[in-house]
Amino acid sequence: MPVNKVFKSCDEAVAGIFDGATIMVGGFGSYGGLPINLIVALSRQGAKDLTVIANMGGVGFELSKRIKPGGYQDLGVLFEHGQVKKFIGSVPALGGMPPDSPLERMYNEGRVEIEVVPQGTLAERIRCGAGGLGGFYTPVGVGTVVAKGKEKKVIDGKEYILEMPLTADFALIKAHKADTLGNLVYRRTARCFNPVMATAAATTIVEVDDLVEVGQLDPEIVVTPHVYVHRIVEVKQ
Amino acid sequence: MPVNKVFKSCDEAVAGIFDGATIMVGGFGSYGGLPINLIVALSRQGAKDLTVIANMGGVGFELSKRIKPGGYQDLGVLFEHGQVKKFIGSVPALGGMPPDSPLERMYNEGRVEIEVVPQGTLAERIRCGAGGLGGFYTPVGVGTVVAKGKEKKVIDGKEYILEMPLTADFALIKAHKADTLGNLVYRRTARCFNPVMATAAATTIVEVDDLVEVGQLDPEIVVTPHVYVHRIVEVKQ
Amino acid sequence: MKARLDEQTIALRAAREFADGSVVNLGYGMPGLCADFIPEGRAVFFQSENGMLGYGNLASDAEKDYEMINASDQPVTPLPGMCFFDSAAAFDMIRGGHIDVVVLGAYQVSEKGDLANWGRPGRPATGMGGGMDLAAGAKKVIVTMLHTTKTGEPRIVKKCTYPLTAARCVTLVITDLAVIEVTGKGLVLKEIAPGWTVPEVQALTEARLIPASDLKEIEL
Amino acid sequence: MKARLDEQTIALRAAREFADGSVVNLGYGMPGLCADFIPEGRAVFFQSENGMLGYGNLASDAEKDYEMINASDQPVTPLPGMCFFDSAAAFDMIRGGHIDVVVLGAYQVSEKGDLANWGRPGRPATGMGGGMDLAAGAKKVIVTMLHTTKTGEPRIVKKCTYPLTAARCVTLVITDLAVIEVTGKGLVLKEIAPGWTVPEVQALTEARLIPASDLKEIEL
C-alpha cells in the first residue's frame, strides 16, 4: 500500500527541512492562502540559511495590526528569526507601508539577499521548473531592471527576455481539502500560488482545513493530483 | 450587457471561418473529447487551405469501423474534403492501422504538409502561445528528428531545444457544460487538449452537452473561464 | 471655481472607460475604487491576478472572507458566473491579451507612455508585484494618479527617473487635473479639471501637452 | 521445452517491476496489457497522458464510456482517488519526473539504451504521440517487445536505424526471450526464456549481451 502521508502536527510535517534548503511558500499577500501553521512550525523548527520563494515577503506581526485588527503572523516570522538568506518574489515589501517589515529591515541591514521577479514571471518560472523545462522567453520586464543580465531575443519582431525555471526542496502550501492519498482542492482566492508551487518541489507539505477519505473528492474537481503531495496535516479552522 | 455567445446550430457557429485560417481542434484520439459536430459543420461550410492543429489526424469513416462497430466520423472528414493544407500534431496517422486514413493518403499523394510534434511539446507550445510567451526550452526531442533546425542550448549541463508558441484563428472544442457567459467544465478524459486550445485562439467555438444559466456552475470547478469562449452551441447527447 | 478631483472622482472618471462586457484588472490602491463606479447598464468583469474573474463589490464587515480577496488584499464579494484559478493561469490570461483594461497607479508617466509605478528612492526592498505583467499584457493601460507629487513635482515627465514598469505601455492618464491620451504625436490633453486653464496644467507637467481640438472640462 | 513468451506473459513480467505505490504510464499497444497484472498487495497508480491518474481495469462492454479512455483509446474504469486534468498538466507531470515507470513498445533498442518506437520505413505520416515526452521524463523506461521482427531481424541492435524516440533512455527490455538490463557496461542478460541458451538468444540479438552472474530463467 502507498506510504502514509498524513502527519499529526505541523511540527512533525516540517521535520527534516534542512539548513540551506530552498523553500516555496504558497499564498498571495500576507493572508489568504498562506500556510501559516506550517510557517510558524518552521520558525520553531529553526532551519537556517533558507532560500524562500514566495509572492510576498510578509509584513510581520507589528505591521499586520495596521491591516487587520489584532494583527496576525505571516511569512515575516521567518525573517524575524533570521532563518532566511535569500528571498525570491514579486513583493518583498509593500511600498504603501512603513519600511519596518522584517524582510525590509533585514535587507536594509544587509542581512538578506532579494531577487525581485514580476509576479507572472514568478508563477511561470515555477511552472517551468515543475514541468521539466529549461527556460522561457517572456515580454514582461523588457526595458526594465528585470532584464538586466538576461539573454534577449527578438521573435517575430517583438523583444523577449529569457527567464529560468525555479524548483524547490520543499513547498509549504495551504489547501482546503485533501484526501488521504494527497489529492487537493482549494477555496476561493486561497488557491493563488499554492497549486503551482505544489508541483515544483521535491517534498510538498500541505496544511488543509479538512482531511477526507479516498473517494470523497470528485475526480473532476481535484486541482492538485496526489503525486505532487508528500505530507498532509489537517488544521481545523 | 455582454454579447450573446449562444448559437443555435453548429453551422451558424462555424460561419466566418475563412480560407487559410489556422484552426485548433480539441480532443485526443479519434473520439472522446472531439468536437465532432463542429468538425462536420466545418466540412459542410467548406473553408479551404486550412492549417489544422490537433493531437491526432483522425482515421476517417472507413477505418473507424475497425475501432468501433458501425464506424464514426472524426477529423478525417476535413482531409477527405480536401480542406487542409497543413497538419500540426503528434499522431498524424496510427502506425498500427493500414495507411488508408484520409490524412495519410493525402500526405502520400503530396497534397498536405505535416509537422509532427511530440504530444507534450504540442500541449506546451499551445500553452506558450496562449500565455503570450515567445518560446521555451525542452529536453524532449533532443537527438531526434524533432531537434532538426531548432536552436539548441545547454542549461546546467543538460541539452534542450527551443520550441515556439502556437496560436490559432479559431479553436473548435468540446466541453461538457457551459453557462451562457461561456464558463466551461469538461467530463472525464474528454478534457484532454480542449482547455489548452480554448485559451490559444482568437475565436473559440465550443460544443457542449448542456448549456446552463449563469450561476449554475460552481466557481471552484470551472476549468475554462468565460473570457476564452466566444461561441457556444448546445448539442444534446 | 478651481478644483482638484478627489480620488473617488478620479476613479469614477476612469470607470467610464470600461466598455460593456469588458474584462478589467484594478491595480493596487486608488484603482481599486473603480469597482464601485461601473456605469449603469454595463457589465464589467473584474479579473484579479491572485486568480479570480467576475467578482463584485468590496465586502462589508459582515461579508468579509479572507480567502476571497482582490489583489490589494481587500475582501470582495462573489457574483454569479465568477470563477477561480491559480496564479499561473491568471497570468496566462493577462499576458495572453485577455484583459481589456488595466487601471494602475503610478509614480511617473513619460511623454512616450513609459510607466514607473513600483520602485522609488529609499525603498529598495519593494517590488513590482503583477504590474509589469499587466502593463505588458493588457490591451489598454489607464493610469490614475495625482498630477504632482506631495512636494509639487510633476509626475508626467519627459523621461521617467524612477524604475520602469514597462516602456510605451500607457494609453490614458487620469489625474486630479486632467485626462491625457498618449498618442504617436505625444500627450494629448483631452479634458481638464473645472476652473483650470491649459497653461496652468502645463506648468505642473514636465512633458509637453498638446491640447485636443475638442478639449473640454472633465465630464463626470 | 523451448518456448517464447506470449504478449500476456511479457506484460505480466513487466508488471512485476511496478513497486508498491508507484505511478505508471502504459504506452500504446502491448504495454496496455500490464494494467491487468498488478502484483497482489501493491497499489499502482496508472497515469494516462490524455489527462487522468489512478484509473482501473479495461472496461467491460457494459461499462464502456468513450469519454473515459486510456492513451490507447481503450475505455477504462474509474477508481476511488482518481483525478482528471488537461493535456498540458499531464505532460508537466511526465516531464517533471513524476512518472516512476513507463512501459513502451519499440521497433528497436540500441546497446546504449537508445529507443526507436514510432517511425518506420514506408509510413512517413505516423507520429511519436507522447512517446518522446515519456521517454525523456520517466524515471524508469521499460520496453516490452518481441525479440525479433516478423522476418527474424534483431530488434536489439548496436545502433538504431529507425528514427529515435530518445537517446540512452531505456532501463529494462522485456521480450519474448529475455529480460535485459541497460547498464553503463552494456546490455546485461538477466533472465532468459525457458529452454533457451545464452548463445541462442545472442544469435537473435545484434548487440552484445553480457550474461548476468545470477542469470536465471524468466520468473513469473
Q: Is B69 an 8 Å CB contact of chain C?
A: no
Average pLDDT, chain D: 96
- Quote the strand ranges of chain D, DSSP E: 22-26, 44-48, 52-53, 83-84, 101-104, 108-110, 115-116, 140-144, 156-157, 172-174, 178-183, 186-192, 209-217
The reported pLDDT for the residue numbered A96 is 85
Q: On the CB side of C81, how many CA atoms lie within 13 Å of its CA?
A: 17
More confident residue, C120 or A39: A39
**Which residue of chain A has the CA closest to B121?**
A133
Q: Is C164 an 8 Å CB contact of chain A?
A: yes
pLDDT tens, A118-151? 999 999 999 999 999 999 999 999 999 999 999 9
Give the Cα separation of B219 and B210 in Å (integer). 17
Residue C218: which of C201, C198, C193, C197 has the closest Cα?
C193
- pLDDT of A95 > 90? The answer is no
Give the Cα separation of B128 and B196 in Å (integer). 10
Contact present, C and D (at least 3 Cβ pairs less than 8 Å):
no
Cβ separation of D123 and B95 shorter than 8 Å? yes
The secondary structure of C171-183 as a DSSP string is -EEE-SSEEEEEE
Q: On the CB side of D205, how many CA atoms lie within 13 Å of its CA?
A: 28
Domain ranges of chain A: 6-120+166-234
The reported pLDDT for the residue numbered B82 is 97
Residue with cell 477529423: B75
Please identify every residue of C annotated as catalytic. Answer: 49
The secondary structure of A38-81 as a DSSP string is HHHHHHHH---SEEEE-SB---HHHHHTTTSTT----THHHHHT
The set of cell numbers assigned to A65 is: 495590526
Q: Is D58 an 8 Å CB contact of chain B?
A: no
H/E stretch holding B127:
helix B119-130
Q: Is B1 an 8 Å CB contact of chain A?
A: no
The reported pLDDT for the residue numbered C111 is 97
How does residue D77 score in pLDDT terms, banded at 50, 70 and 90? very high
Distance from the A122 Cα atom to the nearest Cα atom in chain B, whole angstroms: 14
User: What is the torsion angle, in degrees rounded to the nearest 10, for the CA atoms of residue A8, residue A11, residue A14 and residue A17?
Assistant: -140
pLDDT tens, A170-217? 999 999 999 999 999 999 999 999 999 999 999 999 999 999 999 999
pLDDT tens, C51-74? 999 999 899 999 999 999 999 989
What is the mean predicted confidence (pLDDT) over D187-208? 98
**Strands D83-84 and D52-53, how do they pair?**
antiparallel
- pLDDT of B207 > 80? The answer is yes
**Which residue of chain B has the CA closest to A156?**
B134
The set of cell numbers assigned to A209 is: 482545513
Average pLDDT, chain C: 96
Q: How far is residue D181 from each of residues D9, D39, D219, measured CA to CA in Å?
A: 18, 21, 15
The reported pLDDT for the residue numbered C79 is 96
Distance from the D11 Cα atom to the nearest Cα atom in chain B, whole angstroms: 19
A6-120+166-234 classified as CATH 2.60.40.1080: no
Q: How far is residue B180 from each of residues B184, B214, B220, measured CA to CA in Å?
A: 10, 6, 17
Angle between helices D87-95 and B119-130 (to 10 degrees): 120
Given D17, D40, D49, D191, the catalytic residue: D49
Chain D residues in contact with B96 by the CB 8 A cut-off are: 28-29
Chain C residues in contact with A137 by the CB 8 A cut-off are: none
Q: Which chains share 3+ C-beta pairs under 8 angstroms with D?
A: A, B
The set of cell numbers assigned to B211 is: 448549456
H/E stretch holding D134:
helix D131-137
Contact criterion met (CB below 8 Å) for B35 and B235: no
Residue with cell 475554462: B224
The reported pLDDT for the residue numbered C85 is 98
Angle between helices C87-95 and A119-130 (to 10 degrees): 120
The set of cell numbers assigned to B96 is: 498500427
Cβ separation of B140 and D133 shorter than 8 Å? yes
Q: On the CB side of D198, how many CA atoms lie within 13 Å of its CA?
A: 14
Contact criterion met (CB below 8 Å) for A62 and A101: no
- Residues in contact with D211: Cβ distance below 8 Å, sequence separation at least 6, in sequence order: D188, D189, D198
Q: Where are the alpha helices (DSSP H) in D16-86?
A: none
What is the mean predicted confidence (pLDDT) over D109-114? 98
Give the Cα separation of C74 and B7 in Å (integer). 38
Cβ separation of B131 and C23 shorter than 8 Å? no
Chain C residues in contact with A33 by the CB 8 A cut-off are: 50, 67
Average pLDDT, chain B: 96
Residue with cell 469538461: B186
Q: Please confirm, yes or no, whether D49 is among the known catalytic residues.
A: yes
Q: Where are the alpha helices (DSSP H) in B131-221?
A: 194-198
**C-alpha dihedral sign at D73, D76, D78, D81:** negative
The secondary structure of chain A as a DSSP string is -PPP-EESSHHHHTTTPPTT-EEEE--SSSSSS--HHHHHHHHHH---SEEEE-SB---HHHHHTTTSTT----THHHHHTT-EEEEEESBSB-TTS-S-SHHHHHHHTT-SEEEE--HHHHHHHHHHHHTT--EEEESTTTTSGGGTT--EEEETTEEEEEE----EEEEEEEEEEEETT--EE--GGG-TTHHHHHTSEEEEEEEEEEEE-TT-S-TTT-SB-GGG--EEEE---
Q: How far is residue D20 from each of residues A213, B58, D95, measured CA to CA in Å?
A: 20, 37, 22
Contact criterion met (CB below 8 Å) for D176 and D5: yes
- pLDDT of D220 > 80? The answer is no
Measure CA C37 to chain center: 14
Chain B residues in contact with D167 by the CB 8 A cut-off are: 142-144
Give the Cα separation of D190 and D108 in Å (integer). 19
- Partner residue opposite C93 with nearest CB, options B133, B215, B227: B227
Average pLDDT, chain A: 96
Interfacial D residues in 14-33 facing A (CB < 8 Å): 20-21, 23
- pLDDT of A39 > 90? The answer is yes
Contact criterion met (CB below 8 Å) for B17 and B173: no
- pLDDT of B1 > 70? The answer is no
Share of chain D above pLDDT 90, in %: 91
- Partner residue opposite A139 with nearest CB, options C48, C119, C136: C136
Three-state DSSP state, D99: coil
**Strands C83-84 and D115-116, how do they pair?**
unpaired
Length of chain D: 220
Distance from the C203 Cα atom to the nearest Cα atom in chain B, whole angstroms: 40
What is the mean predicted confidence (pLDDT) over B156-184? 98
The reported pLDDT for the residue numbered D187 is 98
Give the Cα separation of A43 and A40 in Å (integer). 5
- pLDDT of A2 > 70? The answer is no
Q: What is the pTM of this model?
A: 0.98
φ, ψ (nearest 5 deg) of residue A186: -115, 175
The reported pLDDT for the residue numbered C1 is 75
- pLDDT of A157 > 80? The answer is yes
What is the mean predicted confidence (pLDDT) over B42-56? 98
Residue B27: which of D67, D175, C213, D19 has the closest Cα?
D67
Reduced 3-state DSSP string for B61-120: HHHHCCCCCCCCCCCHHHHHCCCEEEEEECECECCCCCCCCHHHHHHHCCCCEEEECCHH
Q: Residue type at C97? A: G
- Partner residue opposite C92 with nearest CB, options B199, B214, B226: B199
The reported pLDDT for the residue numbered B2 is 65
Cβ separation of B134 and A133 shorter than 8 Å? no
Share of chain A above pLDDT 90, in %: 93
Give the Cα separation of D165 and D56 in Å (integer). 28
What is the mean predicted confidence (pLDDT) over B34-38? 98
- Quote the strand ranges of chain B, DSSP E: 6-7, 22-25, 50-53, 84-89, 113-116, 135-138, 152-155, 158-163, 168-179, 184-185, 201-212, 231-234
Distance from the B20 Cα atom to the nearest Cα atom in chain A, whole angstroms: 20
Q: Which chains share 3+ C-beta pairs under 8 angstroms with C?
A: A, B
Q: How far is residue C25 from each of residues B180, B199, C46, measured CA to CA in Å?
A: 22, 18, 6
What is the mean predicted confidence (pLDDT) over B21-26? 98
- Quote the strand ranges of D75-132, DSSP E: 83-84, 101-104, 108-110, 115-116
Cβ separation of C98 and B215 shorter than 8 Å? no
Residue B226: which of B212, C31, A176, D92 has the closest Cα?
B212
Give the Cα separation of C108 and D36 in Å (integer). 66
Cβ separation of B107 and D125 shorter than 8 Å? yes
- What does DSSP assign to residue D38? P
Q: On the CB side of A144, how many CA atoms lie within 13 Å of its CA?
A: 31
- pLDDT of D1 > 80? The answer is no
pLDDT tens, B61-93? 999 999 888 999 999 999 999 999 999 999 999
- pLDDT of D108 > 80? The answer is yes
- pLDDT of A1 > 70? The answer is no
Give the Cα separation of B217 and B214 in Å (integer). 7
Chain A residues in contact with C127 by the CB 8 A cut-off are: 89-93, 116-117
End-to-end CA separation in angstroms for chain C: 16
The set of cell numbers assigned to C163 is: 524604475
**Strands D44-48 and D22-26, how do they pair?**
parallel
How does residue D121 score in pLDDT terms, banded at 50, 70 and 90? confident
Question: Most A CBs within 10 Å: which of D68, D82, D83, as the mutation test of the A interface?
Answer: D83
Contact criterion met (CB below 8 Å) for B87 and B52: yes
- pLDDT of D181 > 90? The answer is yes
The secondary structure of C128-175 as a DSSP string is -TTHHHHHHH-SEEEEE--SB-TTS-BSEESS--SPPSBSS---EEE-
Domain ranges of chain C: 7-217
Q: Which CATH class is domain D7-217?
A: alpha beta
Q: Is B173 an 8 Å CB contact of chain C?
A: no
How does residue A115 score in pLDDT terms, banded at 50, 70 and 90? very high
What is the mean predicted confidence (pLDDT) over B150-175? 98
Burial D26-41 (b: 16+ CB within 10 A, else e): bbbbbbbbbbebbeee
